[in-house]
Amino acid sequence: MELHFAVQFIKFISRNFYVISLVCLGFCITGCEPNPRPTAPCSSEQLTPGLHQCGFWVDDNLRWYEIYIPTDAGNAALPLVVDLHGAASPITFGSSAQRFAVSHFDITAEKYKFVVIWPQGINMIWLNDQKFVLDLIAEIQQLLNINARKIYATGVSNGGAFSQDFGCNHADVFAAVAPVAAPVARVFPCGPSNPMPVFTVHAATDWLVAYKGTPLFLSAPETFELWSEVDGCVDEAEVVLQQGGSTCWLHDNCNGGVQVKTCKIDSHGLFLGGHLPYMNNDGLNISEMIWQFFDQYERY
């Protein structure tokens, strides 16, 4: 009996090594967070081109975020991308897991000249935290010359689900959203006040958030079609990219001239079966693809 238990335990560890490692890393970093946390908000004078970590007061609680401001951006009002981390993905130590290990949106922001922020969720998770993000956007608009009609939300996993919520409920703020590895829940009332451009990205072999869906979450194709219904798309989805094992589809005839796009990414054999499709087998730059989708749209 003890031998059988030991064998089963080893099999469990082997099958779930990456998840266990991620959770352990998250707890490890959480325990080390207090020292490097910013202790005060940033001023507009401090926010020169480059990367900054800043505090931000919300309801008497000091929260924090990272921000990247591109160089040589000129005097024009800049677009703003909110990039939301997944669960157990910290932004401390000046080496944001979301920024360096996942999305690389700082590189894309520098190339295309927009501002990107990485807010930190409470206990490294997003749950009913809309006020923090919306207040932070308002703060950034006070500190920097931001184009209020070109504000966008993206994120991966738990952060991607949070960006879905912004797309449904805050079309007065966001011009477009791009959830990554984050299908919508089966019970998900969604009625944006304006047509919402949406670009979803999911790896076919993701075994943390299944591409084919679960009892609680729609599949990636069902999520694509749900947003197509929300936006009143009347055309058949067409293939707009085929590269290696990755395919993208697009609805182009939707209310208000918006588009709804989805990509099924080949990340087979990579981290968590491809749960982070920024890493993929076909050389696709997901962050750049998201930005090119965003840049077509301004808020109503």
- DSSP 8-class letter at 100: I
Joined tokens for residue 22? 């991620």
Q: What is the pLDDT of residues 112-147, one digit of tens each?
A: 999 999 999 988 899 989 999 999 999 999 999 999
30-74: pLDDT as tens digits = 333 434 567 789 999 999 999 999 999 988 889 989 999 999 998
pTM for the full model? 0.86
Strands 146-156 and 176-180: parallel
Evaluate the CA torsion angle 55, 118, 96, 33 in order and state its sign: positive
Residues of the chain with CATH 3.40.50.1820: 36-294
Residues in CB range of 88: below 8 A, 6 or more apart: 22, 23, 25, 26, 27, 124, 125
In tens, the pLDDT along 243-285 reads 999 999 999 999 999 999 999 999 999 989 999 999 999 999 9
As given in the structure block, the two tokens for residue 116 are 């990107």
- C-alpha–C-alpha distance, residues 202 and 157, integer Å: 10
Domain 36-294 has CATH 3.30.1300.10: no
Residues whose CB is less than 8 angstroms from the CB of residue 139 and which lie 6 or more positions away in sequence, other chains included: 41, 56
